[in-house]
Amino acid sequence: MNTNQQLVELATPGVQGLKPYAPGKPVEELERELGIENAVKLASNENPLGPSPLALAAAREAMGNIARYPDGNAFRLKLALADKLSVDSEQITPGNGSNDVLEVIARTFAGPGDEIIFSEYGFAVYPIAAQAVGARAVVTPAINWAHDLEAMAAAVTENTKVIFIANPNNPTGTWLKAEEIEAFLAKVPDRVMVVLDEAYHEYMNQPDYRSALAWLDEHPNLIVTRTFSKAYGLAGLRVGYAVSHKQVANLLNRVRQPFNVNLVALAAAEAALADEAFLRRAVEVNAQGMAQICQVLDDRGIDYIPSVGNFLCVRVGEGDAVYQKLLHQGVIVRPVSNYGMSEYLRVSIGVAEENDRFLEALFGVLA
Protein backbone atom coordinates (compact mmCIF):
# COMPACT_ATOMS: atom_id res chain seq x y z
CA MET A 1 0.00 0.00 0.00
CA ASN A 2 1.44 3.38 -1.03
CA THR A 3 1.73 6.12 1.58
CA ASN A 4 0.70 9.66 0.61
CA GLN A 5 4.35 10.58 0.10
CA GLN A 6 4.98 7.55 -2.08
CA LEU A 7 1.99 8.47 -4.21
CA VAL A 8 3.34 12.02 -4.57
CA GLU A 9 6.63 10.60 -5.80
CA LEU A 10 4.84 8.79 -8.61
CA ALA A 11 4.01 12.16 -10.21
CA THR A 12 6.45 13.93 -12.53
CA PRO A 13 8.93 16.27 -10.77
CA GLY A 14 7.07 19.31 -12.10
CA VAL A 15 3.74 18.15 -10.71
CA GLN A 16 5.28 17.24 -7.34
CA GLY A 17 6.20 20.90 -6.80
CA LEU A 18 2.97 22.29 -8.18
CA LYS A 19 0.68 24.53 -6.13
CA PRO A 20 -2.82 24.50 -7.62
CA TYR A 21 -4.52 27.70 -8.76
CA ALA A 22 -6.59 29.24 -5.95
CA PRO A 23 -9.91 30.35 -7.46
CA GLY A 24 -12.26 32.98 -6.03
CA LYS A 25 -14.62 31.66 -3.37
CA PRO A 26 -18.05 30.75 -4.78
CA VAL A 27 -21.02 32.65 -3.33
CA GLU A 28 -22.87 29.44 -2.37
CA GLU A 29 -19.86 28.18 -0.45
CA LEU A 30 -19.65 31.33 1.67
CA GLU A 31 -23.40 31.43 2.26
CA ARG A 32 -23.30 27.77 3.34
CA GLU A 33 -20.34 28.32 5.65
CA LEU A 34 -21.70 31.42 7.36
CA GLY A 35 -25.41 30.67 7.10
CA ILE A 36 -25.99 34.03 5.37
CA GLU A 37 -27.79 35.19 2.23
CA ASN A 38 -27.10 37.88 -0.34
CA ALA A 39 -23.34 37.56 -0.36
CA VAL A 40 -21.69 39.45 -3.21
CA LYS A 41 -18.79 38.04 -5.16
CA LEU A 42 -16.33 40.52 -6.58
CA ALA A 43 -13.51 38.04 -6.76
CA SER A 44 -13.10 36.57 -10.24
CA ASN A 45 -13.40 39.50 -12.67
CA GLU A 46 -16.71 38.16 -13.95
CA ASN A 47 -19.22 40.29 -15.82
CA PRO A 48 -21.64 41.71 -13.20
CA LEU A 49 -24.37 42.04 -15.86
CA GLY A 50 -24.44 38.28 -16.37
CA PRO A 51 -24.38 36.83 -19.88
CA SER A 52 -25.72 38.56 -22.98
CA PRO A 53 -29.43 37.65 -23.43
CA LEU A 54 -28.64 36.54 -26.98
CA ALA A 55 -25.92 34.20 -25.69
CA LEU A 56 -28.30 32.83 -23.10
CA ALA A 57 -30.97 32.13 -25.72
CA ALA A 58 -28.42 30.42 -27.96
CA ALA A 59 -27.18 28.30 -25.04
CA ARG A 60 -30.74 27.26 -24.16
CA GLU A 61 -31.43 26.26 -27.72
CA ALA A 62 -28.18 24.31 -27.96
CA MET A 63 -29.13 22.31 -24.86
CA GLY A 64 -31.54 20.27 -26.98
CA ASN A 65 -28.56 18.95 -28.91
CA ILE A 66 -26.21 17.87 -26.15
CA ALA A 67 -26.46 14.18 -26.95
CA ARG A 68 -24.17 15.09 -29.87
CA TYR A 69 -20.46 15.78 -29.70
CA PRO A 70 -19.60 19.41 -30.31
CA ASP A 71 -17.98 20.51 -33.56
CA GLY A 72 -14.38 19.69 -32.67
CA ASN A 73 -13.17 22.16 -35.27
CA ALA A 74 -15.35 24.97 -33.88
CA PHE A 75 -16.07 25.85 -37.49
CA ARG A 76 -18.76 28.50 -37.00
CA LEU A 77 -17.17 30.22 -34.02
CA LYS A 78 -13.82 30.34 -35.80
CA LEU A 79 -15.46 31.82 -38.88
CA ALA A 80 -17.21 34.49 -36.81
CA LEU A 81 -13.98 35.34 -34.98
CA ALA A 82 -11.96 35.41 -38.20
CA ASP A 83 -14.46 37.84 -39.65
CA LYS A 84 -14.46 40.06 -36.59
CA LEU A 85 -10.68 40.09 -36.15
CA SER A 86 -9.78 40.20 -39.84
CA VAL A 87 -7.67 37.05 -39.64
CA ASP A 88 -7.88 33.67 -41.36
CA SER A 89 -9.95 31.10 -39.48
CA GLU A 90 -6.99 28.69 -39.70
CA GLN A 91 -5.14 31.06 -37.37
CA ILE A 92 -7.55 30.41 -34.50
CA THR A 93 -7.23 27.72 -31.84
CA PRO A 94 -10.27 27.28 -29.59
CA GLY A 95 -9.82 26.64 -25.88
CA ASN A 96 -11.81 25.54 -22.87
CA GLY A 97 -11.28 29.05 -21.56
CA SER A 98 -8.09 30.84 -22.54
CA ASN A 99 -6.50 29.07 -19.58
CA ASP A 100 -6.70 25.90 -21.59
CA VAL A 101 -4.94 27.58 -24.51
CA LEU A 102 -2.16 28.86 -22.23
CA GLU A 103 -1.52 25.33 -20.99
CA VAL A 104 -1.65 23.91 -24.50
CA ILE A 105 0.96 26.48 -25.55
CA ALA A 106 3.26 25.45 -22.68
CA ARG A 107 2.84 21.76 -23.54
CA THR A 108 3.41 22.36 -27.24
CA PHE A 109 6.63 24.31 -26.91
CA ALA A 110 8.26 23.55 -23.55
CA GLY A 111 9.35 20.60 -21.44
CA PRO A 112 11.97 19.64 -18.84
CA GLY A 113 15.17 21.68 -19.25
CA ASP A 114 13.37 24.54 -21.01
CA GLU A 115 12.65 27.98 -19.61
CA ILE A 116 9.41 29.96 -19.58
CA ILE A 117 9.64 33.67 -18.77
CA PHE A 118 6.96 35.74 -17.11
CA SER A 119 6.86 38.78 -14.86
CA GLU A 120 6.62 39.25 -11.14
CA TYR A 121 2.89 39.88 -10.42
CA GLY A 122 2.10 38.17 -13.74
CA PHE A 123 -1.07 36.07 -14.01
CA ALA A 124 -1.02 33.04 -11.66
CA VAL A 125 -1.64 30.52 -14.42
CA TYR A 126 1.80 31.09 -16.01
CA PRO A 127 3.85 29.52 -13.19
CA ILE A 128 1.41 26.60 -13.10
CA ALA A 129 1.64 26.05 -16.86
CA ALA A 130 5.46 26.14 -16.68
CA GLN A 131 5.72 23.87 -13.66
CA ALA A 132 3.25 21.31 -15.00
CA VAL A 133 5.39 20.67 -18.09
CA GLY A 134 8.59 20.53 -16.04
CA ALA A 135 9.98 23.77 -17.49
CA ARG A 136 11.90 26.26 -15.37
CA ALA A 137 9.97 29.43 -14.52
CA VAL A 138 12.09 32.55 -15.00
CA VAL A 139 10.43 35.46 -13.19
CA THR A 140 11.59 38.98 -14.07
CA PRO A 141 11.10 41.84 -11.56
CA ALA A 142 8.26 44.27 -12.24
CA ILE A 143 8.61 48.06 -12.50
CA ASN A 144 5.85 49.98 -10.72
CA TRP A 145 3.77 46.78 -10.66
CA ALA A 146 4.04 46.48 -14.47
CA HIS A 147 5.95 44.16 -16.81
CA ASP A 148 9.53 45.30 -17.44
CA LEU A 149 9.82 44.30 -21.08
CA GLU A 150 13.51 45.16 -21.24
CA ALA A 151 14.23 42.83 -18.34
CA MET A 152 12.09 40.17 -19.99
CA ALA A 153 13.97 40.44 -23.30
CA ALA A 154 17.28 40.36 -21.40
CA ALA A 155 16.23 37.16 -19.59
CA VAL A 156 16.05 35.17 -22.84
CA THR A 157 18.60 32.36 -23.01
CA GLU A 158 19.12 29.55 -25.48
CA ASN A 159 16.75 27.48 -23.30
CA THR A 160 13.87 29.97 -23.45
CA LYS A 161 10.85 28.56 -25.23
CA VAL A 162 7.89 30.72 -24.20
CA ILE A 163 7.32 34.23 -22.77
CA PHE A 164 3.94 34.97 -21.18
CA ILE A 165 2.78 38.60 -21.03
CA ALA A 166 -0.65 39.76 -19.94
CA ASN A 167 -1.77 43.06 -21.43
CA PRO A 168 -3.42 44.43 -19.41
CA ASN A 169 -2.11 42.38 -16.51
CA ASN A 170 -4.18 40.66 -13.86
CA PRO A 171 -4.03 41.30 -10.87
CA THR A 172 -2.21 44.65 -11.16
CA GLY A 173 -4.32 46.24 -13.94
CA THR A 174 -1.19 47.71 -15.53
CA TRP A 175 -0.78 47.79 -19.30
CA LEU A 176 1.83 48.11 -22.04
CA LYS A 177 1.90 50.70 -24.79
CA ALA A 178 2.00 49.71 -28.44
CA GLU A 179 5.49 51.10 -28.93
CA GLU A 180 6.83 49.11 -25.96
CA ILE A 181 5.45 45.85 -27.32
CA GLU A 182 6.67 46.61 -30.82
CA ALA A 183 10.21 47.25 -29.55
CA PHE A 184 10.08 44.10 -27.42
CA LEU A 185 8.99 41.88 -30.32
CA ALA A 186 11.84 43.26 -32.42
CA LYS A 187 14.32 42.20 -29.72
CA VAL A 188 13.10 38.68 -28.95
CA PRO A 189 14.58 35.94 -31.17
CA ASP A 190 11.96 34.38 -33.45
CA ARG A 191 12.66 30.91 -32.03
CA VAL A 192 10.94 32.03 -28.78
CA MET A 193 7.14 31.98 -28.66
CA VAL A 194 5.75 35.23 -27.25
CA VAL A 195 2.24 35.01 -25.80
CA LEU A 196 0.25 38.22 -25.41
CA ASP A 197 -2.63 37.38 -23.11
CA GLU A 198 -5.41 39.87 -23.87
CA ALA A 199 -8.11 38.58 -21.52
CA TYR A 200 -9.20 42.19 -20.83
CA HIS A 201 -8.77 43.58 -24.34
CA GLU A 202 -12.42 44.62 -24.66
CA TYR A 203 -12.08 47.10 -21.78
CA MET A 204 -9.17 48.99 -23.34
CA ASN A 205 -9.68 52.46 -24.78
CA GLN A 206 -6.27 54.05 -24.23
CA PRO A 207 -5.00 55.74 -27.41
CA ASP A 208 -1.50 54.24 -26.95
CA TYR A 209 -2.86 50.70 -26.63
CA ARG A 210 -2.95 48.30 -29.54
CA SER A 211 -3.89 44.65 -29.64
CA ALA A 212 -0.91 42.48 -30.49
CA LEU A 213 -2.94 41.10 -33.40
CA ALA A 214 -1.37 44.03 -35.25
CA TRP A 215 2.05 42.32 -35.25
CA LEU A 216 1.05 38.76 -36.14
CA ASP A 217 2.06 39.04 -39.79
CA GLU A 218 5.47 40.41 -38.91
CA HIS A 219 6.15 38.01 -36.02
CA PRO A 220 5.13 34.38 -36.63
CA ASN A 221 6.40 33.54 -33.12
CA LEU A 222 3.59 35.63 -31.59
CA ILE A 223 0.42 34.14 -30.08
CA VAL A 224 -2.47 36.33 -28.92
CA THR A 225 -5.00 34.84 -26.49
CA ARG A 226 -8.50 36.16 -25.75
CA THR A 227 -11.46 34.97 -23.72
CA PHE A 228 -15.25 35.04 -23.50
CA SER A 229 -15.01 34.88 -19.70
CA LYS A 230 -14.69 38.55 -18.87
CA ALA A 231 -16.43 41.28 -20.90
CA TYR A 232 -18.52 38.71 -22.82
CA GLY A 233 -19.90 37.27 -19.58
CA LEU A 234 -19.44 33.54 -20.27
CA ALA A 235 -16.93 32.54 -17.55
CA GLY A 236 -19.01 29.53 -16.51
CA LEU A 237 -19.10 28.06 -20.01
CA ARG A 238 -15.30 28.19 -20.55
CA VAL A 239 -14.48 29.55 -23.98
CA GLY A 240 -11.29 31.24 -25.09
CA TYR A 241 -9.01 31.12 -28.10
CA ALA A 242 -5.60 31.85 -29.49
CA VAL A 243 -4.80 33.73 -32.69
CA SER A 244 -1.43 32.92 -34.23
CA HIS A 245 0.36 32.06 -37.43
CA LYS A 246 -1.62 29.21 -39.00
CA GLN A 247 1.29 26.78 -38.69
CA VAL A 248 1.46 27.56 -34.97
CA ALA A 249 -2.30 27.00 -34.74
CA ASN A 250 -1.76 23.67 -36.48
CA LEU A 251 0.74 22.68 -33.76
CA LEU A 252 -1.59 23.79 -30.94
CA ASN A 253 -4.40 21.83 -32.57
CA ARG A 254 -2.35 18.63 -32.31
CA VAL A 255 -2.05 19.05 -28.55
CA ARG A 256 -5.47 20.37 -27.53
CA GLN A 257 -8.25 17.93 -26.74
CA PRO A 258 -10.36 17.34 -29.86
CA PHE A 259 -13.59 18.51 -28.17
CA ASN A 260 -12.15 21.05 -25.75
CA VAL A 261 -14.99 23.55 -26.22
CA ASN A 262 -18.40 22.10 -25.48
CA LEU A 263 -21.44 22.39 -27.70
CA VAL A 264 -23.38 24.83 -25.52
CA ALA A 265 -20.33 27.05 -25.10
CA LEU A 266 -19.72 27.20 -28.86
CA ALA A 267 -23.29 28.33 -29.52
CA ALA A 268 -23.27 30.90 -26.72
CA ALA A 269 -19.89 32.34 -27.70
CA GLU A 270 -20.98 32.79 -31.29
CA ALA A 271 -24.11 34.65 -30.17
CA ALA A 272 -22.18 36.70 -27.60
CA LEU A 273 -19.76 37.83 -30.27
CA ALA A 274 -22.65 39.21 -32.31
CA ASP A 275 -24.18 41.10 -29.37
CA GLU A 276 -22.21 44.30 -29.66
CA ALA A 277 -24.72 46.35 -27.70
CA PHE A 278 -24.27 44.09 -24.69
CA LEU A 279 -20.50 44.37 -24.91
CA ARG A 280 -20.67 48.16 -25.06
CA ARG A 281 -22.92 48.23 -22.01
CA ALA A 282 -20.59 45.91 -20.09
CA VAL A 283 -17.63 48.15 -20.84
CA GLU A 284 -19.60 51.25 -19.88
CA VAL A 285 -20.87 49.79 -16.60
CA ASN A 286 -17.31 48.79 -15.79
CA ALA A 287 -15.97 52.29 -16.46
CA GLN A 288 -18.68 53.77 -14.24
CA GLY A 289 -18.01 51.27 -11.47
CA MET A 290 -14.28 51.85 -11.65
CA ALA A 291 -14.82 55.62 -11.40
CA GLN A 292 -17.25 55.13 -8.51
CA ILE A 293 -14.84 53.02 -6.47
CA CYS A 294 -11.75 55.11 -7.23
CA GLN A 295 -13.56 58.34 -6.34
CA VAL A 296 -14.60 57.01 -2.94
CA LEU A 297 -11.15 55.54 -2.24
CA ASP A 298 -9.56 58.87 -3.24
CA ASP A 299 -11.90 60.74 -0.88
CA ARG A 300 -10.88 58.43 1.95
CA GLY A 301 -7.20 58.59 1.10
CA ILE A 302 -6.99 54.86 0.45
CA ASP A 303 -4.26 53.82 -1.94
CA TYR A 304 -4.79 51.55 -4.97
CA ILE A 305 -2.98 50.56 -8.15
CA PRO A 306 -4.66 52.39 -11.06
CA SER A 307 -6.20 49.72 -13.30
CA VAL A 308 -7.47 49.55 -16.87
CA GLY A 309 -9.19 46.18 -16.32
CA ASN A 310 -12.46 45.24 -14.60
CA PHE A 311 -10.70 44.88 -11.24
CA LEU A 312 -8.66 46.99 -8.85
CA CYS A 313 -5.94 46.22 -6.30
CA VAL A 314 -6.65 48.21 -3.14
CA ARG A 315 -4.06 48.69 -0.41
CA VAL A 316 -5.74 47.55 2.79
CA GLY A 317 -2.86 46.71 5.14
CA GLU A 318 -3.04 43.06 6.07
CA GLY A 319 -4.72 41.69 2.98
CA ASP A 320 -5.48 38.17 4.20
CA ALA A 321 -6.98 39.40 7.49
CA VAL A 322 -9.11 42.06 5.79
CA TYR A 323 -10.23 39.44 3.25
CA GLN A 324 -11.48 37.20 6.07
CA LYS A 325 -13.32 40.08 7.74
CA LEU A 326 -14.96 41.07 4.46
CA LEU A 327 -16.15 37.48 4.05
CA HIS A 328 -17.98 37.83 7.35
CA GLN A 329 -19.73 40.89 5.90
CA GLY A 330 -20.82 38.76 2.94
CA VAL A 331 -18.35 40.35 0.53
CA ILE A 332 -15.99 38.11 -1.40
CA VAL A 333 -12.90 39.72 -2.91
CA ARG A 334 -9.60 38.15 -3.87
CA PRO A 335 -6.51 37.93 -1.66
CA VAL A 336 -3.31 38.47 -3.65
CA SER A 337 -0.69 37.48 -1.07
CA ASN A 338 0.08 34.51 -3.34
CA TYR A 339 1.38 37.13 -5.79
CA GLY A 340 3.62 38.71 -3.13
CA MET A 341 1.11 41.56 -2.70
CA SER A 342 0.11 40.90 0.90
CA GLU A 343 -0.93 44.53 1.59
CA TYR A 344 -3.47 44.45 -1.22
CA LEU A 345 -6.80 42.90 -2.07
CA ARG A 346 -8.15 42.66 -5.59
CA VAL A 347 -11.77 43.67 -6.05
CA SER A 348 -13.66 43.04 -9.28
CA ILE A 349 -15.80 45.93 -10.47
CA GLY A 350 -19.48 45.16 -9.95
CA VAL A 351 -22.72 47.01 -10.56
CA ALA A 352 -23.18 50.15 -8.44
CA GLU A 353 -24.94 48.42 -5.52
CA GLU A 354 -22.28 45.72 -5.33
CA ASN A 355 -19.54 48.32 -5.35
CA ASP A 356 -21.32 50.15 -2.52
CA ARG A 357 -21.56 46.93 -0.53
CA PHE A 358 -17.83 46.42 -0.96
CA LEU A 359 -16.92 50.00 -0.03
CA GLU A 360 -19.15 50.04 3.05
CA ALA A 361 -17.86 46.69 4.23
CA LEU A 362 -14.26 47.77 3.61
CA PHE A 363 -14.62 51.00 5.59
CA GLY A 364 -16.31 49.07 8.39
CA VAL A 365 -13.43 46.61 8.52
CA LEU A 366 -10.70 49.27 8.26
CA ALA A 367 -12.32 51.56 10.87
Ligand X SMILES: *Cc1c(COP(=O)(O)O)cnc(C)c1O
* Interaction site with ligand X (CB under 6 A): 45, 97-99, 123, 166, 170, 197, 199, 227, 229, 235, 240
Q: What is the DSSP string of 130-147?
A: HHHTTPEEEEEPPBTTB-
Beta strands in the chain (DSSP E): 40-41, 92-95, 115-119, 136-140, 160-166, 193-197, 222-227, 240-244, 304-305, 311-315, 331-332, 334-335, 344-348
CB of 146 to ligand X, least distance (A): 14
Residue nearer to ligand X on the CB measure, 142 or 166: 166
How far apart are the C-alpha atoms of 174 and 358, rounded to whole Å?
Answer: 22
What is the chain's percent helix, strand, coil content, to nearest 5? Answer: 45, 15, 40
Nearest approach in angstroms of CB 124 to ligand X is: 9
Nearest distance from C-beta of residue 19 to ligand X, angstroms: 18
Q: How far apart are CA 226 and CA 180, in angstroms?
A: 20
Q: Which amino acid is it at 143?
A: I
Least Cβ distance, residue 168 to ligand X (angstroms):
8
| Shortest CB 176 distance to ligand X, Å | 13
Handedness of CA 280, 281, 286, 291 (dihedral sign): positive
Torsion 105-107-113-118 (CA) sign: positive
Alpha helices in 188-232 (DSSP H): none
Name the residue nearer to ligand X (CB basis): 46 or 114: 46
Reduced to 3 states (helix: H, G, I; strand: E, B; else coil), residue 340 is coil
Antiparallel, parallel or unpaired: β 193-197 and 311-315 = unpaired
Label residue 6 exposed, middle or buried (CB < 10 Å: 0-12, 13-18, 19+): exposed
Name which of 330 and 350 has its Cβ closer to ligand X. 350
CB proximity list for 164: less than 8 A, separation 6 or greater: 102, 116, 117, 118, 122, 123, 126, 129, 195, 197
Nearer to ligand X, 199 or 365 (CB): 199
Closest approach, Cβ 75 to ligand X, in A, equals: 21
Of 203 and 304, which CB lies nearer to ligand X in the complex structure?
203
The distance of closest approach from Cβ of residue 197 to ligand X in the complex, given in angstroms and rounded to an integer, is 5
In the complex, minimum distance from the CB of residue 147 to ligand X, in angstroms, rounded to a whole number:
12
Q: Name the minimum Å distance from CB 272 to ligand X.
A: 13
Of the candidates 276, 293, 269, which has an alpha carbon nearest to the alpha carbon of residue 173? 293
Query: Toward ligand X, which CB reaches closer, 23 or 141?
Result: 23
Look at residues 264, 266, 196, 259 and name the one whose alpha carbon lies nearest to residue 226: 196
Comparing CB distances to ligand X, the nearer of 30 and 239 is 239
Q: Quote the least distance from Cβ 30 to ligand X, whole Å.
A: 20
Nearer CB in complex with ligand X: 263/365: 263
Return the number of the residue (211 or 229) whose C-beta is nearest ligand X.
Answer: 229
Contact status, residue 234 vs residue 279, Cβ threshold 8 Å: no
DSSP secondary structure letter of residue 19: -
- CB nearer to ligand X: give 188 or 231: 231
What residue is closest to ligand X based on CB? 97
